[in-house]
């Protein structure tokens, strides 16, 4: 890793607000990954691969609709409250799955609804993450923003530093 890149990480990591944000987003992303694995496992155990594809589609497609709405909503109140509400709501939605499974009442249609509701909420996190990272640094420190995107997974296909222009 080049010394300049390490310097950028150090510059970004000095901000306490960024450290809290980064930790929260890493926990949220880990929860999303665990949810995907667990729900996939449940769907495959009670149904089949076709239903798994539909459930995964339900986790992704509603974001197309809710993303622009989340952008408008995040402009008004404190985004931290919306992020907390989004993650709490998604946690409650997903916590219904083991309860229904334990009661032997879980059907694939329930997972479709839970996935759609969770995806509608998750756009708040996606939009807020991008907006907050953009707002923390001036154009003079643009290059220091690159590490902001990498740990949270928004720009994983980028092979190197992201330069404006």
Q: Is 27 part of any domain? A: yes
Please count the residues of the chain. 165
The pLDDT value recorded for residue 76 is 73
Q: Is 110 part of any domain? A: yes
**Composition of the chain by helix, strand, coil, percent to 5:** 80, 0, 20
pLDDT confidence of 123, banded at 50, 70, 90? confident
Q: Is 4 part of any domain? A: no
The pLDDT value recorded for residue 13 is 76
Q: Is 158 part of any domain? A: no
Q: Is 89 part of any domain? A: yes
Q: Is 1 part of any domain? A: no
Name the domain count of the chain.
1
Burial class (CB in 10 A: 0-12, 13-18, 19+), 130: middle
Rg (CA), the chain: 18
Rounded distance between C-alpha atoms, residue 134 and residue 149, angstroms = 10
Provide the mean pLDDT of the chain.
79
The domain of 33 spans 15-151
In this predicted structure, the answer to whether residue 106 has a pLDDT above a threshold of 80 is yes
Q: Is 161 part of any domain? A: no
Q: CB–CB of 92/31 below 8 Å?
A: no
The pLDDT value recorded for residue 148 is 53
Place of tokens 């994983």: 156
Helices (H), strands (E): how many in the chain? 7, 0
Q: Is 8 part of any domain? A: no
């Amino acid at each position: 890793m080049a010394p300049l890149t390490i310097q950028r990480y150090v510059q970004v990591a000095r901000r306490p607000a960024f450290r809290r944000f980064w930790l929260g987003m890493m926990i949220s992303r880990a929860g999303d990954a665990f949810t995907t694995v667990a729900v996939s496992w449940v769907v495959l155990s009670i149904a089949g691969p076709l239903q798994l594809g539909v459930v995964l589609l339900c986790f992704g497609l509603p974001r197309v609709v809710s993303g622009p709405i989340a952008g408008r909503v995040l402009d008004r109140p404190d985004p931290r409250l919306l992020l907390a509400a989004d993650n709490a709501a998604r946690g409650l939605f997903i916590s219904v799955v083991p309860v229904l499974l334990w009661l032997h009442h879980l059907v694939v249609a329930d997972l479709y609804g839970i996935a759609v509701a969770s995806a509608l909420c998750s756009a708040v996190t996606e939009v807020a993450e991008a907006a907050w990272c953009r707002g923390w640094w001036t154009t003079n420190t643009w290059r220091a923003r690159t590490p902001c995107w990498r740990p949270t997974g928004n720009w994983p296909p980028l092979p190197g530093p992201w330069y404006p222009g």
